[in-house]
Amino acid sequence: MKKLVLGLEPLSCPSCIKKIDTALNNTAGVDEAKVLFHAGKVRIKYHEEKVQPEALRKVISELGYPVISQNVS
């Protein structure tokens, strides 16, 4: 299992967090996703054989939230 931290542009409301959390947690291959509101980041645990970081970034950007940084471990 891999861990990915994506930096996001500042989020303005709790519904933004819920939309991102729900979309990522419903993505095949994602074990857990959690938006850290005050840090402006989302932490994702995922299975690299099922989903790649680019696809996870796309899920977020398609919701209208730009990803500004990425850190994979």
Q: Please provide the average confidence, as pLDDT, over all residues in the chain.
A: 94
Q: Which domain holds residue 29?
A: 2-72
Calpha distance 28→63 (Å, rounded): 17
Q: If you ran DSSP here, which 8-state letter would residue 57 be given?
A: H
Give me the half-sphere count of Cα atoms (radius 13 Å) on the Cβ side of residue 30. 23
pTM: 0.92
CATH number at residue 53: 3.30.70.100
CB atoms within 10 A of CB 16: 17
Q: How confident is the model at residue 49 (pLDDT cuts 50, 70, 90)?
A: very high
Calpha distance 66→8 (Å, rounded): 6
Q: What pLDDT digit, counting tens, does each position of 15-24 carry?
A: 889 999 999 9
Residue 54: partners with Cβ closer than 8 Å, 6 or more residues away? none
pLDDT of 67: 95
Tell me how many domains the chain contains.
1
